[in-house]
Amino acid sequence: MELHDQKIVAAIEAIWEEAEVLFENNDPARYALKLEEAWDLLPAPKEVYDESYHIALAIAETYLILKDYPALLRWANILQQCDTGRADDGEREFVLGKAFFENGNMKEAETYFTTAMHKSAGRVFEGVDEKYLHVFPGLASVVEEELPPHIYERVEALSEAGNELADADDFDGAIARFTEALQLLPEPARNWEASTWLFASIGDMYYFKSDYQAAANNFFEALNGPDAQANGFVNLRLGESLYELNQHDQALEYLLRAYMLEGTEIFAEEDPRYFVFLKTRVKL
C-alpha cells in the first residue's frame, strides 16, 4: 500500500539520508537504530505499507552484519509480514533462513532456505557465505545448465520470427511466437536463461499494446530467470508498466534499479516522463 501522508514520507526519506551517511561512515549500529526511527514513523498497521519491506530488510541485514542474531531474527520475522502484495522472489524467506541458521535452529533454516531456493531458482544463494549452502544436501549443487541443442535452435528460430513480427508492429503475432518458444523450455522454465528474454519479449509486446497489466505480469516472470535481477531493460520496462498502472511506489523501485544498473543512458530513448518521475522522487 502506498503511503499518502507526504509529511511522513518526507520525514522517512530524510531519515534514510541520515542513515546512509552513517552506513558510509562505517557505523552500522547507529544505521540500524536510525532506520528503526523510520519504522516508528509508519502508521499502524506498519506492515501494509510498501516502505515497510525496505526498512525491515535493511534493519535485518544490518543486524546480521553486527552479529546481533536475536535482533536479526526479530526483524526477519517482521519482514515476512511486510508488503505481502509485492513480487515475491524468495528474498524474505532467505533472510529468515539466515536468521534461524545464525540462531542455531537448523530445522527452520532448512525450511526457509528450501522455499527461498524454489522461489528464486537458487539465485538468492549466489555469492553468499558457503556455510548457508550446506544446510541440506543438494543445495550446493544447484548449477546453471545449457539447453539441449535441438531445443535451443528451435527457440532461436521462433524468437527471430517473433522479432520480425514485432518490427512489423504485429504484436499479437510476436506474442504467439515468443510464447511458443517459451513452451519448449524444460520445466522449471525459470531455470533457463532463455526464460528471461522470452518473458521480457512478451512483456514488451504487451507494453506496446498498452496492456500494462499483462506487461507487468510478464516482466515479473522475467525477473525470475537466472541473473535477471541485474537486467536493466527488464527493470526499466517493469517500472514503466507499473507507472502506467499508477502503482508509483513499485514503479519507483524498478525504475531506480534500472538507473543504478545502466545510468541515465537507459532512459535516452524512453518517454521522458519516466525519468522526470524518477528525478522528482529520488535525489540522483
Closest residue by Cα to residue 263 from 273, 280, 275, 248: 275
DSSP structure string for 14-63: HHHHHHHHHHHTT-HHHHHHHHHHHHHHSPSSGGGSHHHHHHHHHHHHHH
**What integer pLDDT is reported at residue 227 of this predicted model?**
77
Task: Quote the pTM value.
Answer: 0.52
Q: In this structure, are residues 230 and 208 in contact, taking their beta carbons and an 8 Å threshold?
A: no
Contacts for 98 with CB less than 8 Å, ≥ 6 apart:
64, 72, 76, 109, 132
**What integer pLDDT is reported at residue 80 of this predicted model?**
96
CATH architecture of 149-281: Alpha Horseshoe (1.25)
**CA 34 and chain centroid, separation:** 24
* CA–CA gap between residue 273 and residue 32 (Å, rounded): 35
Query: Which secondary-structure segment (H or E) carries 101?
Result: helix 91-102
Domain extents in the chain: 6-141, 149-281
Same CATH topology for 6-141 and 149-281: the answer is: yes
Per-residue pLDDT in tens (0 to 9) along the chain, 284 residues: 888 899 999 999 999 999 999 999 999 999 999 999 999 999 999 999 999 999 999 999 999 999 999 999 999 999 999 999 887 778 999 999 999 999 999 989 988 988 887 777 667 777 777 788 777 554 544 434 567 888 989 999 999 999 999 999 999 999 999 999 999 998 888 878 899 999 999 999 999 999 999 999 999 999 988 778 889 999 999 999 999 999 999 999 999 999 998 899 999 999 999 999 999 988 77
Burial of residue 128 (CB within 10 Å: 0-12, 13-18, 19+) is exposed
Residues in the chain: 284
CA distances from 94 to 88, 121, 145, 186 (A): 11, 12, 23, 26
CATH of domain 6-141: 1.25.40.10
**What integer pLDDT is reported at residue 141 of this predicted model?**
42
| Exposure string for 54-83, b = 16+ CB within 10 A, e = fewer | bbbbbbbbbbbeeebbebbbbbbebbeebb
Q: In this structure, are residues 222 and 195 in contact, taking their beta carbons and an 8 Å threshold?
A: yes
